[in-house]
Structure 1
């Protein structure tokens, strides 16, 4: 959620003009020598806000909020809805100002979900999309607590503490996080989506302002959704997740047609029981007496890109950071390890984003994208075996498709509205293998409202 400022509009009403004229006339009639009057009065200086006072001391405090509403007409459990309200407080401590430690800082984020309806919306939805539906069994949780150290004139950044890979790796190429996720790291890599925070260590090196490389490692914890993030002594780690990434990015103002390219490799060391095959070669669901085959790790490769291909000014205003433009985006990811528990074989998407195309609304954007999901052969076999046990034959293909229209509308300073409409074709029972209902194609509607709490709390920066 990046706060954006609307163009200020000043409406001068007749009554205001008359009142100002009356005040000016009264002062003029009194004259500068009249007792109790001041010629050319100077407006008193504005007292600094709490946020500005803290900034001066090296403490930057921010607040964010997000409301998400989802409603589906497709999948296993049709015509269901989910509503969530997330609040987040964040503080960044500049240790150079506070303690004199050059290039050092501490980051703290804590979230709270006062509204979390239909927690089991994901399994009710059924298919792979259900895996990323907000799952909030515990309302308050630690999102980030990390120590950052910058070296080599800020080219090298080291960070140690608790974080999620999505904090700085493989940043989404679209506005709405719910429809902009990668199922390989989520399901095959056994990494729960942001905001769940793991013990981690990361390093990033910026070769220049546009090119970078980074690596990171996280301690996995399968019970993390049910924990607060503060109960460190009670955590049970069941593997490690490693991610290495290289990328390049340019932006408006420094390039006429900016682009972004990112390539990443991951490995999860969490043991991966095969979803459908035992060591005896039989079905894990039909042969309960045999142990499942176990894969010692799960590997994958991910590639994302963005490229601006059109701007209305033709490049005549090279320093414009918000031109009317069209940007293409895409990505392709593949599992490199067969037989993993997560069962996602491949994922890809392609889309287009239009910026500043609505007259009078330069900060709004519109987008369209087409996504493709493929479950692995082993997971497809599991879905068919589960269908036999539930008495409902499973005949869905391995491939699912999602067509999407989305938008981002800036309503005010730090307030955005993010609606989307999806049509899901050939959904699976990925999240609910034993459901008796056949997963039907249909619509998924979503609405997000993101807002900054800083102005409401007086934390003007």
Structure 2
């Protein structure tokens, strides 16, 4: 990464002077709601750009996901469910601010609210859910400290070390898609391994290192504190909680060529994790462990523009069935950036995901069914097996700061319960850069 030489703190104008100068206005400043601007709220009279030049990049975002059950599912009573997230972040370039070369500090707060249509209507509450038709929902309606980490680069960028409060999904098993269905997004081990891998917006104390290799390869390794107290909404802003049960250690080997197949960018990743914590054991197992892979490759370009074209992806996870909830998972799909010349910034996608709940988990969960008359009896737990999730979406980039993605989802065996009718869900995702 190219580095810019910074001035000393003494030479820079005080923050108050910057604020006054920005409020005085700027010829090139973007006003709020400017359809050509980068932000809904504008650039604050030029203050936003001034802060970034001085080493403080502010990131404000809002995402909402709506879902409506058209047909099928456990409860056919129609419902519109709405979930959203506000995110407030700041990236501090410590070189520009304090002369600390190749160093960054990231701070992000998130606030999530709403409800999940999958839990409310699609699955049998006696057995529970596997995926979700609203990926932004999760981990409680609460404000959280999602990122609070320090990053330092060494060896001319060949080694990057990050320490602090980090969500595991920030860097491991990542995938770039615009789907609303949880199982067609990134960092899938966190959705299937059980309560050991915490995805965004939950963070953990951690340390990780990324070593760049030859020909755009890398090795990424980390150690994350495994503490269930991090999931408690009452601890959303706490830096430390008692109750650590061990660590989870992920390892990933990747290749991210800028000029891969056909001269187009791609991502190829394979990884594994191991947890030292005591976990539920469904078949005389031990510690939890598992593996994943991610492949994403752009295969076409539109009118010579590398930012427009068709990309294909496939990803999968495997978890030790003796201790994990979902034993196997795989998804595949295609995304298309700038599909039409008249809409060069729109995108579209189609995807299909498959997951299977582990037999040892099912055996334990349904052990109490022996002697019961059958489904519907008090205390009966429906056995779980396989679930399929499919989604088709089209994203309208209405302005640089506003995108709307209507989608249609189809779920086969919601909650991995083959006694529940397959469900059709209409959804819409809204992304706003504030």
Gap change, CA 1:121 and 1:224, over 3 Å in 2:
farther
Task: Give the Cα separation in 2 of the matches to 1:103 and 1:417.
Answer: 36
Q: 1:218 matched to which residue of 2?
A: 224
Between 1:169-178 and 1:355-364, the stretch displaced more is 169-178
Q: 1:283 matched to which residue of 2?
A: none
TM-score if structure 2 supplies the norm length? Answer: 0.78
What secondary structure sits across from 2:263 in the alignment? Answer: coil
Check whether the contact 2:347–2:396 (CA below 8 A) recurs between aligned residues: yes
Gap change, CA 1:122 and 1:234, over 3 Å in 2:
farther
What displacement does 1:402 show?
Answer: 1.9
Match of 2:407 among 402, 408, 420: 420
Q: Do structure 1's residue 354 and structure 2's residue 336 form an aligned pair? A: yes
Q: Do structure 1's residue 439 and structure 2's residue 424 form an aligned pair? A: no
Gap change, CA 1:74 and 1:265, over 3 Å in 2:
farther
Check whether the contact 1:119–1:136 (CA below 8 A) recurs between aligned residues: no
Q: Do structure 1's residue 139 and structure 2's residue 124 form an aligned pair? A: no
Match of 1:69 among 66, 70, 78: 66
Match of 1:166 among 154, 158, 169: 169
Match of 1:301 among 288, 291, 295: 291
The unaligned stretches of length 5 or more in structure 2 are 1-25, 30-44
Q: 2:49 matched to which residue of 1?
A: 52
Check whether the contact 1:68–1:448 (CA below 8 A) recurs between aligned residues: yes
Gap change, CA 1:210 and 1:80, over 3 Å in 2:
farther
TM-score if structure 1 supplies the norm length? Answer: 0.73
Match of 1:345 among 295, 319, 327: 327
Gap change, CA 1:253 and 1:185, over 3 Å in 2:
closer
Gap change, CA 1:396 and 1:406, over 3 Å in 2:
farther
Deviations 1:76-129 (A, max 9, x none): 34444431221111111111122221111210001123x424699379633311
The unaligned stretches of length 5 or more in structure 1 are 1-43, 278-292, 431-436, 454-461
Task: Give the Cα separation in 2 of the matches to 1:184 and 1:386.
Answer: 29
Gap change, CA 1:45 and 1:309, over 3 Å in 2:
closer
Please show how residues 217-256 of structure 1 align to structure 2 within 5 Å: 217-225=223-231, 226-251=233-258, 256=263
Task: Give the Cα separation in 2 of the matches to 1:303 and 1:150.
Answer: 26
What secondary structure sits across from 2:362 in the alignment? Answer: helix
What displacement does 1:46 show?
Answer: 4.8
Task: Give the Cα separation in 2 of the matches to 1:57 and 1:182.
Answer: 33
Q: 2:18 matched to which residue of 1?
A: none
Count of matched residue pairs: 378
Q: Which has the larger radius of gyration?
A: 1
Between 1:88-97 and 1:348-357, the stretch displaced more is 348-357
Higher relative contact order (CA 8 A, sep 6+): 1
Task: Give the Cα separation in 1 of the matches to 2:373 and 2:289.
Answer: 32
Q: 1:121 matched to which residue of 2?
A: 119
Deviations 1:179-237 (A, max 9, x none): 42455333425223211111111111222573222111211222323234432343422
Say what the alpha-carbon RMSD is for the aligned residues: 3.0
Please show how residues 21-60 of structure 1 align to structure 2 within 5 Å: 46=28, 49-60=46-57
Between 1:402-411 and 1:174-183, the stretch displaced more is 174-183
Q: 2:190 matched to which residue of 1?
A: 185
